Structure 1
């Protein structure tokens, strides 16, 4: 009953990135913010409210997984941002609520709201190392320049190697969604042997790839209309995940080196299961 109530209350689903919403001009920021809070109190389009954000403080990140070194940023505690723009979260069951980050480039990571609020998470608004007159430095991955602006979620107490925490940059929108609503079409209801693969896919793949049109848009959809397991050999799927650049030139996908062969097998078996459960 509680889960159903949360689903009805939230009314927020994973959607498209900032391209589907127009950024208000500076002169209309205040009016736009009021309309958004009244219309949808559980999502906020960050560029619209930039002028209304609390004053940022300098925070030190010991091990930044995007820059691969220690960094410092001007940033605002994420909880402070939620308190100001999404205060309705306080009435929800945090353990049953997902916080969804939507980025311009299609990266749509999500995680438990309770989990992220248990750490020192910040919304970074600028890089203290940026040249005068600029807010950000854009690192390069091969020949590809990574756009960090307009916002970046960082932590001062989470190690870079902990992949269960997401560090979304190029961030434009934050939404709250019922965990059950987001993942209902992906959970293997008919075969509990696939739950391990589902959990691994959710943490490691869903942020960039969609499945049955749920998830990130940075990488290709993996199940609809055709499952990747229907046109790629299993061994090639696993090898591609381990070393994408050995298959595609200037590939944006990073090499996934923290998953064992057994865990990759679990994910592939889950994808094979989902090939028979398309939506």
Structure 2
């Protein structure tokens, strides 16, 4: 089925938003103008009834033979494209025809995932049929340009801005919005983590101490190891000392036995000292069988 939308071509290569496109804001020089725009330049054609026009250098390049004349009013869609240009972020999205947080200028097909890319701190906005990015500037001073007969005039405006009859509390700033279209993710996203097949740490993930010394963990490990080895040495020395002491100290029973064994055993007749006298001899006496008291002679 033909795509009748304005397709600007793919946006697959890196593209960076030029600094001048965001730093120079165009603000018409009038007494009540409060809307400034990025990506504009003065119209040098003469004579002209339009003072400013879009600067196509502020858009990612379109694929030939696309040739457009400003004003482009949103311009078109970059397809296929899935990543915002550098300096821009996703500000609004649509997933097919069922889910969207913004009504895009260009139709979203059912199989597409669409992103609206804006500068940081900008939101997606739409004026009539044209889409853009919008930010509100409420405090400070802005450097802006205005155009007069093809010439660029630089001036400063402050917010809040006071006019002849009223005061505006803010200045609205517009920037180009890039609509990107890519294929919608159809397969479900798995929420379970893949099983771990190895516990080995890849070399690319090993942290290296740039100072050349050991890491804190290694130092702690060495300290603990030295302490354990020291305690082991002390314990071994104490055990050997106790064992050696016990082997040198003779036991009490062993000493007595050795002393007794060393003495010479002699018969009674060979014992030293004065001789003993024999015991006295008594004459045996027979007693009668009476119960009267009797005396021995």
> TM-score range, shorter-chain basis?
under 0.3
Where is the strand percentage greater, Structure 1 or Structure 2?
2
